[in-house]
Amino acid sequence: MEAVTLQAAERDDMQTIWRMQLEAFSALLEKYRDFDTSPGAEPFEKLLTKFEQPWTVYYFIQAGGQAVGAIRIIDKKDGSRKRISPIFIMPEHRDKGFAQAAIRAAEQIHGSVHWCLDTIAQEAGNLHLYEKMGYHQTGQIEKINARMDIVFYEKD
């Protein structure tokens, strides 16, 4: 596998990340119809507001000299759990280990313990990825609609 690095995004990169995010989540949005919660339906202004939070960093996930995805890290540096929300790999780059490598890289930057995230309970591949990375389900589940539930994970 090609080496994966994280490159911190600048404000000028947010349009690119937003367009990538809409594309990356479009199939899940179509499948689950979760227009209120899906990153695939997020307005640009909301993404920009998140970017401007002092505790948020967006990174491009880089491999082979190109952006294969992105990850947002929320790190308040106050002892609260760090959060991945969201992480995505572009469809043509999936199943190559890039998400795992990006999570490892984020842990190298922000510390390897005290993390949380959530994902779609019906997406077995996502559950497998996070459990392989050392995350465990908290038992909290949020019903979004008849098709979809969100399951919460932590890593200590």
Phi, psi of 130 (to 5 degrees): -70, -35
pLDDT tens across 65-82, in order? 999 999 999 999 999 999
Domain membership flag for residue 42: yes
Can you give the CATH number for the domain in which 43 is found?
3.40.630.30
Is residue 154 within 8 A of residue 138, CB to CB? The reply is yes
Residues of the chain with pLDDT > 90, as a percent, come to 99
pLDDT at 1 over 80: no
Is residue 130 within 8 A of residue 119, CB to CB? The reply is yes
Eight-state DSSP code of residue 10: P
Which H helix or E strand runs over 8?
strand 4-8
Is residue 84 within 8 A of residue 69, CB to CB? The reply is no
Domain membership flag for residue 96: yes
Domain membership flag for residue 144: no
Helices (H) and strands (E) in the chain, counts: 4, 7
Domain membership flag for residue 52: yes
Provide the pLDDT for residue 135: 98
pLDDT tens across 21-44, in order? 999 999 999 999 999 999 999 999
Domain membership flag for residue 146: no
Domain membership flag for residue 57: yes
- Please report how the helices 124-132 and 98-110 are oriented relative to each other, as an axis angle in degrees rounded to 10: 40
Domain membership flag for residue 124: no
Mean pLDDT for the stretch of residues 113-128? 97
pLDDT at 2 over 90: no
Tell me if the bond preceding 86 is cis, omega within 30° of 0.
yes
Q: Where does 114-156 show beta strands of DSSP type E?
A: 115-120, 136-145, 148-155
pTM: 0.97
Domain that residue 110 falls in: 4-117
Is residue 149 within 8 A of residue 122, CB to CB? The reply is yes
Domain membership flag for residue 91: yes
The tokens describing 149, both together, are 């539930």
Query: How many domains, in total, are found in the chain?
Result: 1
